[in-house]
Amino acid sequence: MILQEQMRILAHRNIAKDIFEMTLQGNITKEIKGPGQFVHIRTSAGLDPLLRRPISIASVDTDESCFTVIYRAEGKGTKLLSEKKPDDTADVLGPLGNGFPADAAAAGETALLVGGGIGVPPLYELSKRLNEKGVRVKHVLGFERAEKVFYSEQFSLLGETHVATVDGSFGTKGFVTDTIDRENMEFDQLYACGPIPMLKALEERFHGRRGYLSLEQRMGCGIGACFACVCHTADGAEGRGYIKVCTDGPVFPIGKVVLA
């Protein structure tokens, strides 16, 4: 069920340049069905900014009724959010969307998790769940440059982890796909989240393979009512087939959505 709640901020810290990690406590936690879902956070009690900000869930702690989100403070809304302090509350709507099916990979199989920038966070909870199931997990994480890198150590504790930066200031130089090619990485199941160019590059390489992609898209309501986040589907009749990223996704099987 989707709830709207004033959630208590348990912790809030800056973990890389413009990147914040915030832990929220409340009833929404028990409604979370799986990794890859997101919440929609109102960043101002006033009317500016007016719309909520979709932010993906990075990890869930059901015992403590809390979950952690990681976001980039880039625009007006997320910058306002970044000023909140522990014990403040945040107006949260969620959980929203359909996450990654962890069941798509069986115990003993290998899953390749590929994340780019602010697409990395939802892969963390996914990796934890896959580990619990006995799936072997490999990570390839891409960032712009060293100061933007986060969670590389946390991911390393869960499996083989490669970090690529565009300028080579951390890990290897280049894009995530360069790393995958160079390391000739093998896998049974692919999971990825990141900017469209990254997802397109993965789709070109791995079309026909088992994989799920999580899309980032500008959203209005987050619940499927405003039609702001629509994308064409690859099999749409006369180009009219479409999905809404917020409610039909944000996770889709590879090849389902036209990445444009």
Partner 1 sequence: MKCLSVKLPGLDLKNPVMPASGCFGFGKEFAGLYDLSQLGAIMIKATTLEPRFGNPTPRVAETAAGMLNAIGLQNPGLEQVLAEELPWLEKFDVPIIANVAGTETEDYAEVAERISKAPNVKALELNISCPNVKKGGITFGTVPEIAAELTKRVKEVSTVPVYVKLSPNISDIVGMAKAVEQAGADGITMINTLLGMRIDIKTGKPILANRSGGLSGPAVKPVAIRMIYEVSQQVNIPIIGMGGIESADDIIEYFYAGASAVAVGTMNFTDPFICPKLIEQLPSKLDELGAAHISELTGRSWKKYEPNTNHCS
Which residues are at the interface with partner 1 (CB under 8 A)? 1-2, 4, 42, 47-52, 77, 93, 217-221, 223-232, 239-240, 242, 247
Distance CA 111, CA 116 (A): 17
Q: Shortest distance, CB of residue 97 to partner 1, whole angstroms?
A: 13
CA–CA distance from 32 to each of 35, 71, 147, 151, 155 (Å)? 8, 18, 31, 22, 21
- Compare residues 94 and 211 and give the one whose CB is closer to partner 1: 94
- Compare residues 5 and 21 and give the one whose CB is closer to partner 1: 5
- Compare residues 236 and 255 and give the one whose CB is closer to partner 1: 236
CA angle 210, 33, 70 (to 5 degrees): 85
Q: Which of 220, 222, 228, 215 is nearest to 49 (CA)?
A: 220
Q: Shortest distance, CB of residue 50 to partner 1, whole angstroms?
A: 5
- Compare residues 148 and 162 and give the one whose CB is closer to partner 1: 148
DSSP structural state of residue 204: H
How is residue 128 written in tokens? 């934890």
Residue given tokens 């403590």 in the structure block: 64
Q: Shortest distance, CB of residue 18 to partner 1, whole angstroms?
A: 16
Q: Shortest distance, CB of residue 167 to partner 1, whole angstroms?
A: 19
